Amino acid sequence: MKRVRIGNGCGFWGDNLDAPVRLASAGKLDYLTLEYLAELTMSILAIQKAKDPGAGYATDFIDVLTRLAPIMGHLPRLRVVTNAGGMNPRACAAAAREVLARAGQPEKPIAVVTGDDLMPRLDDLIAAGHAFNHLDTGEPLASVRTRVVSANAYLGARPIADALRLGADIVVTGRVADASLTVGPAAHEFGWGFGETDLDRVAAATVAGHLIECGAQVTGGLWINAADETWLGNAGYPVAEIAEDGTFTVSKPAGTGGAVNFETVAEQLLYEVADPAQYYTPDVVADFTTPTLTETGQDVVTVSGCRANGLTDTYKVSVAYRDGFMAAGTLVIAGPNAVAKARQSAAVLLERFRRSGFTHAASHVEILGAGAVTGGAPKADCDPPEVVLRIAMRDSNRASIERFTKEFAPLVTGGFAGTTGYTVGRPPVREVLAYWPALVAKSAVTPAVSLI
């Protein structure tokens, strides 16, 4: 039975820069996927593009491709699929073309997938009746329209498969669903359609894509039982070997650290999942209650029995809008009664801020080391020798937040004994980009594929 090996060497923008190169060298891959985008990433890229028309894509990809190009020269079958294009896939592809030219491979075809960016059409779409209601509140997007900085539909695997059929060795997309980076190559290799006939197999590839999309998270990263012998310092990145009938294995290159077992795969399967029976993607609604996970070798898990639970007629849309300003600062409080002194220090800081005459929309105090992250642990009678006091504040008025940042340093001499950790200067003021999830009819979005 025909099989295709798809490895993912990047789970987010900021992931291990060496992982794609190591995986391409040792993974015996047909396809290497690189996943760079998150909701916040798109808004940041939108602002970058507004300042510079040549920016707006994940620049790490260009650094990675510079190192990958010699490997691709020796592995002519290897093809790369990435959403590094972000808000500007054409500029990303042009930069990639320059890298390949310098590497002596100017003939390699690069395809660009566009159509996800709805900002140029947003007002027309709203006028046509697409309300982009907030998925949680039901509020129409018109209520924040003047503050919107980006609006991107999550495209699916079909345009990626189309790009590969055109002969592309590298496919650069904007916002596509994470799992679709894997579904596209599988659909192309096996000739799958996206209708009822192949829906279970598309669902299986979606499960495979979901399992490998976060890189080392399925090969031992964040594994509940990871230990020194897991050797996460050299964790291998995942490979999904997919068969034509939709069964597949998850593994990692031999000789690498990390682990692939029932637990690591099961934990990743349930990552970022609301209803396991209905995992919505633009390609299929996958039923995550149906897969069977079987350890079939050292660091090899076989996944079978994947089933679909229908299709949708909508795309998810990720909208970002400006929502004021925020800052967050920290101080270390050491010595006896550190927790109590940290709470008192926070009260002093906020009282001094109120005396300044400024107001704020929201503030948040955390005492790290006293249960702020873990919901109350350690026990209340524990007296840690030091804690980290973190205070954050948000408001629509930038001047209020700037004044807030000036209240940390005075605690160094005017606060409680044991206060330190102030040498990094005042906290920076950052613009808040809020997230607005919505849906839009697929009929309103037209994905496009072009070769450069």
How many angstroms separate the CA atoms of 295 and 266, rounded? Answer: 11
Question: Would you tell me the crossing angle of helices 89-102 and 60-74 to the nearest 10 degrees?
Answer: 40
pLDDT in tens, 8-43: 999 999 999 999 999 999 989 999 999 999 888 998
The three-point CA angle 407-411-415 to 5° equals 140
Determine the average pLDDT of the residues in 411-427.
91
Cβ atoms 405, 327 nearer than 8 A: yes
Contacts of 292 (CB under 8 A, 6+ apart): 303, 304, 305
Look at residue 1 and tell me whether its pLDDT is greater than 80.
no
Determine the average pLDDT of the residues in 127-149.
97
Look at residue 280 and tell me whether its pLDDT is greater than 80.
yes
Output the DSSP codes for 391-415: EEEEES-HHHHHHHHTTSTTHHHHS
pLDDT in tens, 64-82: 999 999 999 999 899 999 9
Q: Where are the domains of the chain?
A: 3-116+154-312, 324-435
Determine the average pLDDT of the residues in 168-186.
98
How many angstroms separate the CA atoms of 148 and 170, rounded? Answer: 31
Give the H or E element holding residue 221: none
Residue 248, number of CB atoms within 10 A of its CB: 29
Work out the percent of the chain whose per-residue pLDDT is above 70: 99
The CATH class given to the 324-435 domain equals alpha beta
